[in-house]
Chains A and B, each alone.
Chain A
Amino acid sequence: MFSIPVFLESFWPLFWAARYTVLISVLGIALGLVIGTLICAARLSPYRWLHRFAALWVSFLRGVPLLVQLLVFYYALPVIGLDVPALAAAVITVGVCASAYISEIWRGAIAALPKGQAEAAVAIGMTPRDVWARIILPQAFTLSLPALVNELILLVKASSLVSVVGILEITRASQAQAATTFRPLEVYIAAACCYLLLNLCLAALGRYLEHRTAV
């Protein structure tokens, strides 16, 4: 039967392990933002080969399961001479994967801006650089905030997969605990609760940001 004391006791180690979940998700989204912005710029650039490369990047990373990407990175990095710790491999994988989605979020937000916005700026004689820096990007960022928070929630969940390369985040910690206590039901439900808690907080943050930036 379901034992509530076992359930409650399994929380503490999981909370402690959650720092890796948070670390990987936050670093992952930061890396994803950097690469994703570059990829989006490449995608919108007039150079054909840059554009093609960006399209391929997005299509490949969105087409391949994260778990497979993770193992490719984990095993391939040492082969090309990069002996990085598992944690770095995890952050890189998560970040690179996120970059594809973030680039699409940017692109969608920019496309969603009414054409008249840029036209109005051009009409009063702004330079292309100013049009982007002053008119398009600030609005696109505001528009894409909810989607970015959503992406972060997805990363928190996706970070459970890095348990397979041995990082002691929530999922891995729960596996270890299930193995020692023989109470997988309580332990895994506790793990689920940890994720739920994290994501509910993030969702609340998202709603707050959306509300605050609403025009």
Chain B
Amino acid sequence: MLAASSVEIRKVNKHFGPFHALKDVDLVIEPGKVNCLIGPSGSGKSTLLRCINFLEEYDSGEIRIDGQLIGYEAPGKKMSGRRLREMRRSIGMVFQQFNLWPHMTARENVAEGLIRVRGMSKSEAHERAAEALTKVGLADRMTNHPARLSGGQQQRVAIARAIAMEPRLMLFDEPTSALDPELVGEVLNVMKTLAGEGMTMVVVTHEMGFAAHVADKVAFMEKGELVSVDIPDRILHHPEDARIQSFLRTYHERNNF
């Protein structure tokens, strides 16, 4: 069993210039639980996710990982770069565009953080990287550069890169949106395994099937507001809020095309 973090988000606000991207968002994620964020594009779900590891700076409110405020020492006073990096070490993130480093092989991509951030020796890091890659089913692709890998394989390398750092919390930013449909399954399977091991996960996704079967909670966002959080069945199959109903209707129409 992995050590898993909790996340508490309290009254978080975020502006991009005049645009109010997050409006008083509250959300609690318990240790070891999987939380999916769904909603129309531009609803602020990716922004919220990126605030959790402070890649995006929120303007007000609090985000606490295991009770520790991230990004700020105190309200209005930014955290030092060093402290922020320490906190980020235990938060893994997977991006829509994979963001693998193209000049490094799959194994070097995974080992890079272990060497530079965890201070491991090269041989130890490579061994650890090999383990992580084996876990995502890429034992035979370790010496390939990203340009030689399919999208699904690249995304699995990106997951391996994150889990090799032994995070206590994993953030997924639309991990399958950039993939061809036939490659989505392999990535979702790896995520499912990870969820089964008790990792705390926050997943921004359009994969309603994944949300229905794997998530413990589903949160629906629209126009920067967190409309509702509940167990998947009640959000996805018996939504009360009209906005969720309309979102799901559009979603199903598009998928039945």
A–B direct touch in complex (beta carbons closer than 8 A): no
A residues within 8 Å of B by Cβ? none
B residues within 8 Å of A by Cβ? none
